Amino acid sequence: MAYEDLRAFIAALEQRGLLKRIKTQVDPILEITEITDRVSKRFGPALLFERVKDSSMPVLINAFGSEEQMCLALQRASLDDLASELDSVTEIKPPEGFFEKLRMLPKLAEMARYLPKRVKDGPCKEVRITKEPSFDPLPTLKCWPLDGGRFVTMPLVFTKDPETGTRNCGMYRMQIFDERTAGMHWHIHHGGARHYEKNRRLGRRTEVAVALGPDPATTLSAVIPAPDGIDEMLIAGFLRKRSVELVQCETVDLEVPANAEIVLEGYVEPDELRLEGPFGDHTGFYSLADHYPVFHLTAVTHRRDPIYQTTIVGRPPMEDCHMGTAVERMSLPLLRKQLPEIVDFHMPFAGVFHNLVIVSIDKAYPGHARKIMHAIWGLGQAMFSKVIVVVDKDVNVRDPAEVTWKVLNHIDPERDIEFVMGPVETLDHASRLPRYGSKMGIDGTRKWKEEGFTREWPEEQVMDRETKALVDQRWKEYGLG
């Protein structure tokens, strides 16, 4: 059964010994970050700080701080199970005959259960503040010493396309400026930013609703790079195997998850910008101060005795790394639908998602590795991949020693490395210009004669099966333990 809400997930974490309650009073200014950073670096448990200075709300952090916690959040035995489920869904094809249509009905009925459902009321409405709402009661963190202030770091930000009415839900940090305004840090490539830009051209304000602390699958849906027009709440329904219940906001024409702990309502004016940042980001470096739109708070609703869920980001490994791994596993079946020659891919933690992508392929023709590089650079947010390394299908992309060994033995640097120009991640502080710079592709596959390699390619040293079996059988005789 899907988790009813964040509290049910907290109970599941605690039952598994994956949650630690901290009853000592802690400061949201830097202290919580330092505690959490030490815990997250060793893949430690979720932390529930029950006494936070200057706030009555407890703080939940590091809830997704290990692969085990991520699997528990998604209620799967492994993240590969999730990938297999998604693969079966994407295999659905239009039925050709009457009996095929009949066989499809159960699958279609199951899919219909994932569609978001509107309800009249929900737990997030237990307390409603529409007169003089304020950010002040929230135990927002100042995460790192040079941060520009306190930040909301795990918000589900809802907006609506002014032309199509399509909903978008993304996770964009918010710097608290004062009791009623905050920065809205959406990048130019994000769905929320596109809705804002459409409204700006029309001279309209953009209505915004921010949900904090719904059930874990719904939270994860906000960071999945869904194709344009795909409702993240439908993805959340698939993840939790049950519809997300949505409730109408009080002051804006938007819907939010009814089971959220806290909801912030407001708007962004079309041409109002304010300096936001710096912010200690997931790259492990500070993203520099820049001008971003301003969110004006019009209402706060929340559950009685709400729990404030947040996160910190910085030098890997941290909580967001495990969220990224889940997204990676979910992306593989979709990537294979477009590029079936891909066997596997991996984004190592140290690559902070966009800096390094390792791809294994079933190489079928000369230049195949380069075709894959350019195809990936042409896919949605994969366009930000700074370095793409392509290897043969027999290479384990999750074994850095094997990848390094194979690639460095397979490349002639001048021949097998290419550079291209294009869009880069906004957080890439090394690019020559903001959001524009170079990317690198490395062809680490075995080279073919058709690719101009006329020398003989050596065989890899591998012991024959008979000798391996003999040594396995006699191992105890050798006295080697």
d(CA 154, CA 326): 17
d(CA 357, CA 382): 9
Q: Is residue 281 among the annotated active site residues? A: yes
Q: Give CA 422 to chain center in angstroms.
A: 23
Cα 277 to Cα 148, 289, 349, 376: the distances in Å are 5, 4, 24, 31
Name the nearest CA neighbour of 416 among 358, 370, 363: 370
* Distance in Å from the first CA to the final CA of the chain: 46
Helices (H) and strands (E) in the chain, counts: 13, 23
Q: Give CA 315 to chain center in angstroms.
A: 16
3-state secondary structure 26-94: ECCECHHHHHHHHHHCCCCCEEEECCECCCCCCEEECCCCCHHHHHHHHCCCCHHHHHHHHHHHHCCCC
Give φ, ψ of 204 to 5 degrees.
-110, 150
List Cβ neighbours of 450 (8 Å cut-off, separation of 6 or more): 365, 366
User: What one-letter code names the amino acid at 162?
Assistant: P
> Out of 281, 320, 428, 443, which one is annotated catalytic?
281
d(CA 89, CA 112): 12
Give φ, ψ of 423 to 5 degrees.
-65, 140
d(CA 409, CA 325): 28
- The two beta strands, 156-160 and 127-129, are unpaired
Cα 4 to Cα 75, 241, 259: the distances in Å are 13, 12, 7
Alpha helices in 222-367 (DSSP H): 232-240, 319-338
d(CA 153, CA 477): 58
Name the nearest CA neighbour of 134 among 183, 180, 182, 184: 180
Task: Look at the alpha carbons of 338, 339, 344, 347 in this order and tell me if their dihedral is positive or negative.
Answer: negative
User: What one-letter code names the amino acid at 185?
Assistant: H
User: What one-letter code names the amino acid at 102?
Assistant: L
Tokens of 200: 């700006």
Tokens of 12: 């599941």
Residues tagged active-site: 281
